[in-house]
Amino acid sequence: MLTKEETARRLALPNGPENLMQDAAQAFDPAWALFLEGNAGACAFLCRCAKGKAYRQAIEARLGPGREALHAALTAPAPKLRKNAARLCGILGREKDAPALIAALSQEGQRFVRPSQILALGSLGGENAQAFLGGYQVEPPRQPGEEAHAKAEAQALETARRALLRPEKHSFTSLPFPVEVELRCPQGMGQVLAQELRALGYTPAAVHRASLRLHTADLRGLYRARRFFQLLLPLSAGIPLEAGALARRAAGALERILPTCHAGAGPFGYRIELKGQALDRGPLARAIASKLDGPLLLNAPGDYEVELRIEAREKGRANLYARLMTLQDDRFAYRLSSLPASMHPATAAAVLGFAGKYLTPNARVLDPCCGSGTFLIERHFLSPCAALTGVDISQQAVAIARANGAAAQCPARFIAKDCLSFAAQTPYDEVIANLPFGNRVGSHKDNLALYAGILDRLPQWLRPGGIAILYTMEYTLLKSLLRERPGLALQAQARTEAGGLLPTIFILQALRGQR
């Protein structure tokens, strides 16, 4: 069996085994190969990937209709692989996996594996899972050291049975009183988000680099803003990181909020999200759930309406938030599909907001590395444009961009072509590009020629005085190339964050007389 370090080496993870998701795009294919070889660490990596929609779709596509690889892993010789395969089943949430899970659980000899299998059945739901778990009995400990595993199995069974109850769905109505709201945005873009909210009539109370807070009863209206990832309700701060204290604070706050802004009575399905280093997440989450469940709240991690987020801080304290899944966020519904290294739409909107004063009314806009079309589509939503053109060397990327553009009712034209051979028939006012980072897509060696070629073509693509907005991890490379090109003037730059990386926004201007 490969060690964690050996698995990371096989996956070619430059950031090490503790930072798998920083390198998810380049590690996904090797991880899948290792999973097929029976590697438990690779399966754990796929579990983390599967929490994202794009990766979940990729895993489903590779499993195929028969799902033989996943079902084989459920009964593999390695107990950790069986455990992680059960977790993956639960995350994917396909009811058709229930018979294979039931068969695996029925013959499972390792007690530490069973809780994951039981919880996965609770997440899948359906008549098979309900009937099996309804009659399931936890065996008493047979030898010293089994007490903890038996307790974990019993807790998992209780959680899964509650999840199978499938509480009645609730509809968000409106809040009768203002509440404090925290909006999370890309790092360094707090002021850019605040500017957007002020234009919409809101008054931010506190603005930070990656978030802001305000008081409002108009939660739905906040989704007119596009420059933030998530809307959270802060419930309490500085709570002892202990199950009883966290459950009491959460219950008190949610009892005040949930019934007032939803149609229908409880219980509300919820899940617990624990964030922080060195947390024993499973036992702590189960302990909190055992104290929270009641007439108002029901632990239902596979079908939840409220995410209870607990973010660990220093000195054994934590901050507590609620995320209402009943409050629909349809801002980016156009994104029917994406590529693993695609730009998040909120990041694209924030980058364009940062560059706002340099943008042109009714602009002609080119994206020479358009990928799934996100940057260009968000430019369309920002203000009317005379022309929107996306170019990408990948036929797959262009197909995805066209589908996303149609869903967004965006008039952009997408062309499958190497951007270095693309010539502008009429100069553009703006060039916007999420350039390949060199670690998730392409390599630093590839970027040497690509970046130089793009900078050399900017004076041909842009009208004199036109603007280029470039988003990249290759800070040093781009700065050195700019020094060799006096016809491109750096107007502004800012560092932000994406998936653990720290890309930079560059705003360049094509100087007059330099075409």
| pLDDT, tens digit, 9 for 90 and up, residues 319-375 | 999 999 999 999 999 999 888 778 999 999 999 999 999 999 999 999 999 999 999
φ/ψ of 177, rounded to 5, equals -150, 155
SS3 (DSSP) at 71: helix
Could you give the strand order of the β-sheet that contains 504-510, starting from the edge strand earlier in sequence? 413-416, 385-392, 363-367, 428-434, 462-472, 504-510, 488-495
Cα separation, 230 vs 38, whole angstroms = 36
pLDDT of residue 8: 54
Q: Facing residues of 413 across strands? A: 389
Long-range contacts of 204-211 (CB under 8 A, 24+ apart): 210/184, 210/185, 210/186, 210/497, 211/182, 211/183, 211/184, 211/185
Instruction: Give, to the nearest 10 degrees, the angle between helix 79-92 and helix 114-124.
Output: 20
pLDDT of residue 160: 86
Q: Which of 232, 237, 234, 235 is nearest to 317 (CA)?
A: 237
Q: CB neighbours (10 Å) of residue 133?
A: 19
Cα separation, 270 vs 311, whole angstroms = 16
Contact 462, 427 (CB under 8 A): yes
Structure-token pair, residue 280 = 């024993």
pLDDT of residue 488: 95
Cα separation, 120 vs 122, whole angstroms = 5
Q: Please provide the DSSP assignment of 294-313 as one string.
A: SSSEEE-TTS-SEEEEEEE-
Cα separation, 415 vs 402, whole angstroms = 9
The 8-class DSSP code of residue 498 comes to B
The DSSP bridge pattern shows strands 297-299 and 268-275 to be parallel
End-to-end Cα spacing for the chain: 60
Contact 370, 401 (CB under 8 A): yes
Q: Which of 508, 509, 447, 507 is nearest to 473 (CA)?
A: 447
Which domains, from first to last, does the chain contain?
4-164 (1.25.10), 171-324 (3.30.2130.30), 345-510 (3.40.50.150)
pLDDT of residue 444: 67
The 8-class DSSP code of residue 289 comes to H
Cis peptide before 361 (omega within 30 of 0): no
pLDDT of residue 244: 95
Contacts of residue 9, Cβ cutoff 8 Å, sequence gap at least 6? none
Q: Which residues of the chain have pLDDT under 70?
A: 1-26, 302, 438-444, 513-515
pLDDT of residue 104: 96
Q: CB neighbours (10 Å) of residue 249?
A: 18
Cα separation, 477 vs 361, whole angstroms = 31
Contacts of residue 449, Cβ cutoff 8 Å, sequence gap at least 6? none
Q: Please provide the DSSP assignment of 74-143 as one string.
A: TT-S-HHHHHHHHHHHHHHT-GGGHHHHHHHHHT---TTTHHHHHHHHHHH-SHHHHHHHHT--PPPP-S
pLDDT of residue 159: 82
φ/ψ of 127, rounded to 5, equals -65, -40
pLDDT of residue 13: 47
φ/ψ of 231, rounded to 5, equals -110, 120
Helix (H) or strand (E) holding 380: helix 374-382
Q: Which of 259, 248, 345 is nearest to 306 (CA)?
A: 259
Q: Facing residues of 101 across strands? A: none
Cα dihedral across residues 262, 268, 271, 273: positive or negative: positive
